[in-house]
Chains A and B, each alone.
Chain A
Amino acid sequence: NAGVMQNPRHLVRRRGQEARLRCSPMKGHSHVYWYRQLPEEGLKFMVYLQKENIIDESGMPKERFSAEFPKEGPSILRIQQVVRGDSAAYFCASSEGVSTNEKLFFGSGTQLSVL
Chain B
Amino acid sequence: AQSVSQHNHHVILSEAASLELGCNYSYGGTVNLFWYVQYPGQHLQLLLKYFSGDPLVKGIKGFEAEFIKSKFSFNLRKPSVQWSDTAEYFCAVNDPGFQKLVFGTGTRLLVSP
Decide: A4 and B101 in contact? CB cutoff 8 A.
no
B contact residues vs A (CB 8 Å cutoff): 4, 6, 9, 32, 34, 36, 41-46, 49, 51, 90, 92, 94, 99-106
Decide: B99 and A106 in contact? CB cutoff 8 A.
no
Decide: B99 and A55 in contact? CB cutoff 8 A.
yes
Decide: A56 and B103 in contact? CB cutoff 8 A.
no
How far apart are A98's CB and chain B's nearest CB, in angstroms?
A: 6
- Is A40 in contact with chain B by the CB < 8 A criterion? yes
Which residues of B lie under 8 Å from residue A35 when comparing CB positions? 101, 103
B98 and chain A: residue at smallest CB distance: A56
A contact residues vs B (CB 8 Å cutoff): 3-4, 31, 33, 35, 40-45, 48, 55-56, 58-59, 91, 93, 98, 100-102, 104-109
The CA of A21 and the CA of B29, in the complex, are separated in Å by: 36
Decide: B99 and A42 in contact? CB cutoff 8 A.
no
The CA of A104 and the CA of B32, in the complex, are separated in Å by: 13
The CA of A4 and the CA of B100, in the complex, are separated in Å by: 17
Which residues of A lie under 8 Å from residue B43 when comparing CB positions? 3-4, 91, 105-109
Which residues of B lie under 8 Å from residue A42 when comparing CB positions? 4, 6, 90, 103-106
Known: A42-B90, A42-B106, A43-B90. A101 touches B101 (CB 8 A): yes
The CA of A59 and the CA of B92, in the complex, are separated in Å by: 16
- Which are the 8 A-B pairs with shortest beta-carbon distances? A42-B103, A106-B44, A45-B100, A43-B103, A42-B105, A108-B43, A106-B43, A42-B104
